[in-house]
Structure formats: structure tokens, C-alpha cells
Structure 1
Amino acid sequence: MPEAAIRKRPQQISAHVPRTLTEALDPAWLTTVLAGFSGGRVVSGVETVEVIRTVATKVRFTVTFEGGESGAFCLKGLLDVDETTARGGPTCVLEADFYGRIAPTVDLTVPDCVATVIDREGRQAVTVMLDLIGQGATFCSALDSFSADDAVLSLGQLAQLHARSDLLEGADWIRPRVSQLAEMTYVTPETLQELLDGPRGDGLSRQVRSAPRLIAGIRALAARDGQCPQFLVHGDAHAGNVFRLGGGMGLIDWQLLQRGGWALDVAYHVNAVLCVDVAEAEERRLLGEYLSMMRGHGLAMPCDEEAWRQYREAAIYGYYLWAITRRVDPPIIATFVDRLGKAVTRHESHALLGI
């Protein structure tokens, strides 16, 4: 990957934001969007390689330009979705803005973004990147093996991000997501309880499966987090948003980019990427590794015991995110809810937050 200092800013294209996969793969539309990358050459052919649909659609594809040269890309956006899902468009705008405003200035391993297409009035966007898999990258998932040594590498990426929290100054578009979660109404207590009473909650205690307690916990965490020093936070650093490339690791999926306490990322990440017994045995050491990295970047961090308390409280954040998740394969949801719910149990997160 190129160094952050020389990573090019993607072209921000004034074009229609596609709403369907057919529109997104239209050669004429791609000719406009890829003009800055291709030098204005016409796209003469498009071939779909893979389509991955969760909430957003990720489509890997190749294009052939006039003259015979080809390129491999990945496009991400809300394609072929219903009206309710389309309301999530602001998260796609947030991700496009990350690639346009933040990624070129931070020393992170992320996909090379070649273009963003943003409709700010309509609150929709798509992002076009070079295809990582074509570059030899492999993506992690909740069901992959992830060691504590792997976690040191991925925590290094989070530390690089957190260390550039000076970028928050004047960046009002990066908001405190945890407080928004605490105030949201689209997942009712009744719906949340129904989800927790399903298979995803198997193996967790009745107290941790309580929707009212979880809602009270995320609200208490939001109140405390708002009083902490604010960092540039990924917000969704589970294993599925990590990739391996060239012996290192990188991060994808910036739709929950936010400002907040460092522990939101670290507690969520450690307990999502590691199985429960490894997390329990290694998390204190991993927290120490992260704190050392941050101090090495010149940041003042809390003492080890205060950091441990913040880490234990913050476990509720990741648990809440996965407790409310619906549009992901059930085995992945169940894995993350189990790991994060058991972290909340182990750390007595509710009690630390006064719940």
C-alpha cells in the first residue's frame, strides 16, 4: 500500500448515484466515474466477478478500456434496496468522506479509493476502490482463526487511526455515534428483547439478555464516553472488517466512523476478533500493547488501571451493535453476540456503569 503522505485523494465525481446494480455497472456511467483513473478512456466492457449483499452491496468487477487495457475494481453502495434500507444512505456518504478527507492523511492500510460519487442532498453515495483481492488480500471473518499476535497487528492499525485525532478539529461531520445509538428509536425494547431471546442469545445469562438493561447500559456508556477525550474511532472494527495483505493487516468499512473514547474500538475489537478463552487470557496484555503504541505516537493515555476500567465499561458498545444486527448471516451474528456478551458478563460492564 502507498504511504499515507503520498496516497492520492480519490476523484469526487459529479454524477448520478446509482440505485441499482445494473446502473452501477453501466459502461457509460463507469467511463465518467473512472475518468480520473483511466485518463479519460472509454469503458468498452464490464464483467462482474462477485456480488456481496449485506446492508450495502459490494460488487467486484473488471472493466476493459478502449485500447484493450483492463482494471479490477470494487464498488460499494446501497443498490437494489427497499425504501427503509435506503435511509441508511448517510453512512455511505460518511464512508465516501472518509476516503476523500481522512484516508489520504493517515498512515493506515486501507483500500486504494479511486472515486467517490456523493449526492449530499439525496444523502446517498457510492465508493469505487481498487480490488483488494486482486492485489492478493484475504478478508477475515468471525469464523476464521484469529490469534492474539494477529490482534497486535490489527490494534496497530487502530492506534494509527486514533493517533490522528487532531483531524477531529473542525470536522463536525464526524459525530459521536454511541450517543446516537443511545437515543435511537427504530429498534424498540420489545424488538431487541425478541432478538436476544432468539438463538443469538443462547449461552448468555438472563441478565445480559435483558433488553432494558442493555439499553440502560448503552445510555450510561454514552454519557460517560461524552466526557472522555475524543478520538477518531473506526466504530465497527470486528473481524469481518479486517483484511490481511503482505504480512500485515488493514481495515475496511468506514460507515460507522465516529468520534468517541478509544476504548469503544479497543474493547469491541479484541472481544470480537478473538474467541472467548483467548480474549480472557490475553486481553490485559493486548490492552498494554495498545497503550504502548499510543504513547509511542506521543499521546497521553490513562494509567493502566484507569484504562482497564474504561475498557471493561466499553464492552457494552460492541455487544449492543451486534444485539440489534439483523441483515448479516445468523452464524456470524451468533458468534459475535456470544463473544461480546460474554465479555460484558466477564467484565461486569453493567455494574461499572451503575446499572
Structure 2
Amino acid sequence: MKNDPTIDIDIKRAPTSKIDSIDFENLKFGHIFTDHMMTCDYKDGSWQAPKIMPYGPISMEPSAKVFHYGQAVFEGMKAFKDDQDQIWMFRPKDNFNRINISAKRMAIPEFPEDYFFTALDALLKMDKDWIKKGFGNSLYIRPFVIATEPGVSASPGTNYKFMIICSPAKSYYNGEVRVKFSEDYSRAADGGVGFAKAAGNYGAQFYPTNLAKEEGYQQIIWTDANTHSFLEEAGTMNIFFRINDTLITTPTNDRILDGITRKSLIALAEENNINVEIRKVPVQEILDAAKEGTLKEIFGTGTAATVNPISGFGYKGDKHELPKLTDSYATFFKDKLMKIQYNLAEDKHGWRYLVK
């Protein structure tokens, strides 16, 4: 990861901070933002020098191509503060690589690694007081890039804006989460953009998710577009199933996001001698396991959610509740993962990144 101190970042500090007005004990995820943001423009065929400025509105033409053709991709990352006030990120190189993979799929110029880490480190150090110590506290980091060129011709933009904004966070989901197995809608299809964190992937999920919410569910687990007979991932999470003591998750492909938390849990499972199967997951297999009592857990993983247990699921009008376990894999993995993230356990894999 390249942090280049010779890169000239134009920094303009906020005249005052709003931090004293924030109730950090009652945060709604993604609604409060720190004092500063990073912005970097692409024009004349290259990325310009990054800038850090007070968080606030940006000005764009109504004809900016992001509004008309959806050229927008994003990432989700977190920063943590340990008991010695050191700031850590978790596997940020993976996030950097993935936003460029997403950008390439959407015909957006890839962002330079040295610009990314130099500007992000500077931003986190400026807003370090927004990162609170303590298990469960974090700073959610949202890098994104949008097409800003004015014009409604159906072609990729020539001008772009890369930005990073930050939001103090606690848990993503509050209370029990129940999911519906999709019967009609799909998140993505073969050859599409399901593997990319393209903004439109998420916008297209909102309508079927709203329908599921009307039935009492918080999320959908999507099924494959061809037959709707294989489970893939949820709207904001990769999904794991535990049948007896075996952990099962779907393989990544061009329909499924290559989740960083997902990869981390697979590695933790393997080093703790928990059997993991990475394969297609038929809906019928999970229904049968639920009826037989061998389906012990379903849980989701993601940067925002970390590890989130699923309390129950529904399919074709039938509802299934999952057992409440005292020794769940979800709790085990969440504890292992968070201790690494907060610098409370050995990092055997080199996942932590210290902001210096």
C-alpha cells in the first residue's frame, strides 16, 4: 500500500467542528458525517491532485452523466481505534483493488493507489476524534466515484470525481433480522455487473426489498436469475449457512460480490478447523435442513454488518425460525474478527493497516 508523503494534497480545514453536537451513543447508520471529505477530479485524461475540504454539498451540471447513465461505483470500509489511540483499517488494499475492478467494469478510469492511501490517511488523521474507542465503535468510510461530464449522449464520461466521506458508526442492524428467499426477483445475471459495487445494483434491489418488508422481512436472499433455485447473497451481505457443523457459502462469480469479510471468515474457519464448503446452495437443501432440524444457523457478512445472525427465513408463504444457539458460529467469528480489527488479538494474516 503506497502512502507517498511527496504527494501535494490541497487541505482546507473546517473553521469549526460539529463533533460536540453528535450523540455517539445513538447513531443511525450512515446519517452523520465527519467534518471533512476528500475529493479528486479526473479531467484531460488524468487524475488531478487530491483535495481535503470541509464536508458539504458539491455542484454539478444537471446533465452530468452519472444522473443519466448511472456511472457510479463505491466501496465500504471501516477504521477502528485501539486502547492506545492508534487508528487501524481492515484489509484496505482489498477495498482499493475492488473499487478499481468495479470502475473498470463501468468504464471509469482506475484511481491511483498512492493518491488513495495518502489522501485517506490524511483524512483519517484530520478527523481522528470522530473514531471512538471501544468494541463496536468504528468510522465507516465511503469512497465513491461518479461521472461528472455534462452531456446526455449515451457514452462514457470524460470527467469524473472521486470522493471519500466518513460516518461514525455502531451496528448496522438493530434487533432480529429475518430474510425472504427470492422467488421472482434476481440481484444480477451472468455477464452483468453483480460482482461490481455499482450504485445501480443497490437501487434495483429496493423495490423487491420493500415488498419483502411489507411481509415482515428485513432483507432478501437473492436466487439465481435462470431458475431461482439456488441461493446467492443478500442485499447488503454475503450469506453463510451452517448445516450441522459444516459451514456453506456460495462461490463468487460475475453475479456475486467478492466480499472481504466473507473471505476473512473463510480463512478464520479453516484455521479453527471448521469445515467450510464453497459451492452452489440449492434452496431445497436449506428447506430440507430446516425441516430436519440440521439447519443450525444462517448469517450474513459485510463491512457494515460485520457478522449478522439471521433469526428466520420465509419461502413461498412458509416461515421458518432458526434455533437460538449459545455457541453459534456467528458469535464465534464476530468475536475473532473484531478482536483483530481492534488490535486486541494477533493478526496472523497481515489484515490490519496502521494509519501513521
TM over 0.5: no
| Greater strand fraction, Structure 1 or Structure 2 | 2
| Greater helix fraction, Structure 1 or Structure 2 | 1
TM-score after normalising by structure 1: 0.30
TM-score after normalising by structure 2: 0.30
